[in-house]
Amino acid sequence: MPLTPVLSRYWDEPQSWTLDSYRRHDGYQALDKALAMDPDDLIATVKASGLRGRGGAGFPTGMKWSFIPQGDGKPHYLVVNADESEPGTCKDIPLMLATPHVLVEGIIIAAYAIRASHAFIYVRGEVIPVLRRLQTAVAEAYAAGLVGRDILGSGFDLELVVHAGAGAYICGEETALLDSLEGRRGQPRLRPPFPAVAGLYACPTVVNNVESIASVPPIILRGNEWFQSMGTEKSPGFTLYSLSGHVTTPGQYEAPLGITLRELLGYAGGVRAGHELKFWTPGGSSTPMFTAEHLDVTLDYEGVGAAGSMLGTKALQIFDDTTCVVRAVLRWTEFYAHESCGKCTPCREGTYWLVQILRALENGTGTEADLKKLLDVSEAILGKSFCALGDGAASPIMSSLKYFRDEYIEHVRGGGCPFDPATSTLFEPVGAP
């Protein structure tokens, strides 16, 4: 399957982030087209395109927009989720650095469609260069009359705010994000009501991922037939696959949905020389891991789901035979325990105990009974937590026990980690530029 660079097609050009560069690449032409359409037709077009949210769950974008009640007399809001904190997920930040205007154009189109006159980009606070680049792009767009009052003479008004988060993974969860944006501590909200009914300031709100919104201008400009000529029937279009870890050339590979890891590794120069693929994540650390037997799984929502995992954010973290799976899972679990917001008991207490058990296994004080305990605690978290962070914490443990039980047992019988720290790369990134 060939690569299909659409969003990433001119990332390597000098000054790719400026308004001038964007205009040279058909920038803001989709906006002209969209503003000439009725907002409802615009929603129907995005719905018919089959675009699915790129933030993890794959929810159809147009359908989400159609849930916003119209004629309700309340303000509507569009919030772009640019928190990107999942281990392995690294596509939105490069996109915003290289081509912030495609996101700005997508935001104006989406806000017009759902009749929102305020939009926010909630950016992970640590990424100062991204914040600056977005602020510059938004200022350029205001100066060019693309944002603000009476956009391009259409009568449509939009205020666009770039908001810096304070650095918590949970603030990527859409309802925690809304609480954080309102100035509260970021913790998930009980649903219903869903954000489409009562979101930001209790008003109808669409929360979409950066890549979802950035995919809208090319779809509007080039049409649904073009979009559906890529990908599969239920997962149409192009998307960014992020390859990291033990791969010869890590980076972003934009390809049709439904490509396989075997094909992507072909483009990325394969697993680093002299080593074999051991395990990998299809969609970031919170999606159940795969092994070499899954190299030909089609990387669309259905294919990955049928093989027992989730496409998530398409963050393909590659681990070779020098990696201790128990140690990798411990490092992820430490992350989830640290990032657990503490609102619900299964996740708050469970992630703490998972870390203790995994540490014991790594340092040689674990027992075979601990493997059952790991599963018991994971089962008490999975599907029983208040939000999906808990499920994400249980996934690497349950899937690694499914595929690498023998390696766990080796840790118990051999009195600790069998990998030699001198030769094992453990969790160190290898081959990064």
- Does position 104 interact with ligand SF4 (CB under 6 A)? The reply is no
Size of the site for ligand FMN (CB under 6 A): 24
> How buried is residue 403: exposed, middle or buried, by Cβ count under 10 Å (0-12/13-18/19+)?
middle
Which C-beta is closer to ligand SF4: that of 133 or that of 189? Answer: 189
Smallest distance, ligand SF4 to C-beta of residue 341, A: 3
Site stretch for ligand FMN (CB under 6 A), options 169-177, 194-202, 274-282, 370-378: 169-177
Selected binder of ligand SF4 within 114, 168, 230, 389 (CB under 6 A): 389
> How buried is residue 397: exposed, middle or buried, by Cβ count under 10 Å (0-12/13-18/19+)?
buried
Q: Which does 95 bind (CB under 5 to 8 A by kind): ligand FMN, ligand SF4, none?
A: none
Which C-beta is closer to ligand FMN: that of 322 or that of 351? Answer: 351
Q: Supply φ then ψ for residue 80, to 5 degrees.
A: -95, 125
Q: Judge whether 341 and 176 are in contact, CB under 8 Å.
A: yes
Smallest distance, ligand SF4 to C-beta of residue 344, A: 3
- Does position 342 interact with ligand SF4 (CB under 6 A)? The reply is yes
Smallest distance, ligand SF4 to C-beta of residue 290, A: 24
Residues 171-190 that bind ligand FMN (CB under 6 A): 172-174
Q: What token pair was written down for 133?
A: 């680049």
E strand segments, 36-147: 77-82, 118-123
The CA distance from 214 to 358, in Å, is: 40
Residues whose CB is less than 8 angstroms from the CB of residue 369 and which lie 6 or more positions away in sequence, other chains included: none
Residues 206-225 that bind ligand FMN (CB under 6 A): 207-209, 212
User: Which uninterrupted H or E stretch holds 276?
Assistant: none
Which C-beta is closer to ligand FMN: that of 341 or that of 412? Answer: 341
- Does position 4 interact with ligand SF4 (CB under 6 A)? The reply is no
Instruction: Report the 10 Å Cβ neighbour count for 145.
Output: 12
Question: For binding to ligand SF4 (CB under 6 A), which residues are involved?
Answer: 170, 188, 340-344, 347-348, 385-387, 389-390
